[in-house]
Amino acid sequence: MERYVHQEPGAEVTSISGHYTILEEKRGEFKGRQFLYVIGGAVVDSSCCGTGGCRFIHIPGYIVGWKVRENDAGLPISEIEPISDEGAQRQIGKLLGEQYPNSQIIFLPA
């Protein structure tokens, strides 16, 4: 089981080549289990290779415990089980791809 630290929508994370912003956090259902997915937007604006951007969907995994505690900064932490089954990843990716076309869908590793 993994810990997932929730970020507030609108939170911006800066990197060497740009930044990304968390737009919203949602829960979906697949075969009777809830999973967490996070929608964000990435902008590459300080890279030597050019500029660009994309919408992404990070999928931390199945929800085992929803916001069970907080970290030292007061951000909620959930318990997550990564989705490692490739068949489930394909089906969930297809469902989300239909809802959010042209999004990069990323299952976070275990």
The pLDDT tens digits of the residues spanning 35-75 come to 999 999 988 776 566 666 788 999 999 999 999 999 999 99
Tell me the mean pLDDT in the region 14-39. Answer: 91
pLDDT > 70: percent of the chain: 93
pLDDT > 90: percent of the chain: 69
Q: How far is 42 from 60, CA to CA, in rounded Å?
A: 18
**For the chain, which residues make up each domain, given as ranges?**
2-107
DSSP strand pairing (50-70 vs 12-14): unpaired
57 neighbors 106 (Cβ within 8 angstroms) = yes
pLDDT of residue 46: 65
CA neighbor of 37 nearest in space, from 15, 53, 22: 22
Q: Give pTM, 2 decimals.
A: 0.85
